[in-house]
Amino acid sequence: MARAEKVAAVAELTERFQTSAGAVLTEYRGLTVAQLGELRLALGDNATFAVVKNTLTKLAASEAGIADELSGLLSGPSAIAFVRGDVVVAAKGLRDFSRANPFLVIKGGVLEGKSMTPDEIGKLADLESRDVLLARLAGAMKASISGAAATMAALPVQMARLLAALQVKLEEAAPAQDTAPAVDAAPADAAASTEAAASTEAAASTEAAPAEAAASTEAAPAEAAASTEAAPAEATASTEAAAPGGDAAAPGGDAGEG
């Protein structure tokens, strides 16, 4: 290969490394041209499969900044699958083809600048494809939207029920509030009546005491005067009563003498 062709080949490989989502290195020893054609068809638009020279590939990997990830894998007949589409679908295609055609050996690769072992590529192939994941995501989003729509539709009904329950609660609370003050007022009225009666009786007693004292004071001279007036009358009556008695005795005496 002329120098100019080598430079062009390195530049092309470098661009593929830089513009691809990943690259999977394989060994194709023993595969026929027809089988390589079948592999390219299996990969479809997700990857391009190209047979490469190890020396030029090392130069291209160095210029792309992934020499450390690929240098150890570039030995023997090498072919690279440059992934441009769904990396999961590309990994599935390589794995399934290698199972049907054991001459295709997956040696490793690099995905978004990270080196990958054959086992990691196999695990990547076990994942769901992007289309399946997007379909599941769309289904989940649709279910979420439907659930949100149902929730929004149910809000007016729930609000109406809440308002009705609140109205019933307020109506039940109103009679209780009207009764409570009356019940509370009864002891208060009784206490007020008791206090008023006690105050009235105390005032009456206070007022009656001076009146009774004054009446007693006024009654004392009257009683003394009455006693004074009554004494002569009683003395006169006694004298008058004694006089007739004496006269009666005298006749009696005379009768004795006769």
229-241 confidence digits (pLDDT tens): 444 444 334 444 4
Task: Quote the pLDDT of residue 161.
Answer: 76
Q: How confident is the model at residue 11 (pLDDT cuts 50, 70, 90)?
A: very high
Q: Would you say residue 209 has pLDDT above 80?
A: no
Rounded to an integer, the average pLDDT of 188-212 is: 49
Q: Would the pLDDT of 39 be above 80?
A: yes
How far apart are the C-alpha atoms of 82 and 219, rounded to whole Å?
A: 141
- Identify the sign of the CA torsion 199, 202, 208, 213: negative
Pick the CATH number of 3-127 from 3.40.1180.10, 3.60.110.10, 3.30.70.1730, 3.30.1330.200: 3.30.70.1730
Q: How far apart are the first and last CA of the chain?
A: 216
**C-alpha angle 215-219-222 in degrees, rounded to nearest 5:** 155
Number of H helices, E strands in the chain: 7, 5
Answer yes or no: are the C-beta atoms of 141 and 147 closer than 8 Å. Answer: no
% residues pLDDT > 70 (the chain): 57
Segment 139-149, tens digit of pLDDT: 666 666 766 66
Q: Enter the pTM of the model.
A: 0.51
225 has pLDDT over 50:
no
The C-alpha atoms of residue 182 and residue 187 are separated, in whole angstroms, by 9
Confidence of residue 177 (pLDDT cuts 50, 70, 90): low
Q: What is the mean pLDDT of the chain?
A: 72
